[in-house]
Amino acid sequence: MPLAATGVLNVGWRPPKVLRTVRSLAFCDNLQMIPTRRCILSLLAGSTALFAGKTAVRRYAFEYWDVFTRHPLQGNPLCVFLDAQGLADQEMQALARETNLSETTFVLPANRVRIWTPLEEFPFAGHPTLGTAMALRKPAMKQIVLQEKIGAVPVDFEEHSDGFVYGEMLQPEPIFAEEHKPEDIARLLNVSPTDLLSDAPILNISTGRPNLIVMFKKFAAIKTLQPDWARIREYFAAGDHQRGFYFLTPETETPTARYHARKLVPRGEDPATGSAAGCAAAYFVRQGWVKSGERISIEQGAEMGRPSELFISAEKVGNKIGSVRVGGYAVKSFHGELELP
């Protein structure tokens, strides 16, 4: 099914009563998903089959947004269910497994937003926050406040002369936790300690979700990373607390970006990570590499074929880092309607 001029696919297909077994989402590779007609039919058919046995038909409109990009089918994909009233928690979890994206969001009255991964619910995540805010934005709206499990998350909008709308979220105040030895982390990542920046402490930081900030000297080293996930699990089981790595280097592919980033996880890779970018913003200002209040850009996702651009800033008043902001663009790539008996 080709993309229309607007970049939106209008999915009007309805699943038949006798369903074929089309359970896998075509071309879904870990956290990456390339939308195709087979993908959409699988989503609708598979979900309808999952909840067969009920009599009343429930209809749920959904939209797919590509976040932290101006181009359809780039950035980080997100599925937003615009009115999730009537869905039980187990149904939200099942639908998040069905989309097989890093996160799927479900909007409830009063801008309440539930964020689900294929495995669990998150209290906060970056690209789902921005993507959902973009999906809910009305013309000329300057701000929306999403009520997430972590609390209220405001998202401000700027209308640009090129027709794009820029959105920027205010993240929770940063928490600076433990520091790790470079030789320990290098061993977990199968790299030499000399590959890491010597003046860059390896810190666990949270602006809603914890991330271990690891700085590399060269782009080549970060591009070929192969972490030892079994050894990583064993290392952190000893008592240190972290929920993920965010790898960065000052060497970039695009001249407008200040840093290149990768977010590798055991089940794949994330093409754009707003929560981790917030941690990076706090880190850079703390280190003095970025001025207080200065907005810079991070590039991410090129290794997956989904290039993304994230804009970050943070402020420093005295010794306190705060006002962490992460922003970017988003485009709606397609939409449809889910029918559940």
Q: How far is CA 281 from CA 143, 156, 213, in A?
A: 22, 18, 10
Whether 35 and 41 have beta carbons less than 8 Å apart is answered as no
Gap between the Cα atoms of 133 and 118, Å rounded: 21
Angle 37-50/89-99 helices, nearest 10 degrees?
150
179 catalytically annotated: no
How many angstroms separate the most distant Cα atoms in the chain? 66
Gap between the Cα atoms of 160 and 228, Å rounded: 44
103, 148, 269, 299: the catalytic one is 103
Gap between the Cα atoms of 122 and 270, Å rounded: 15
Residue 285, both tokens: 């200002």
Residue 72, both tokens: 């359809």
For the annotated catalytic residues, the residue numbers are: 103
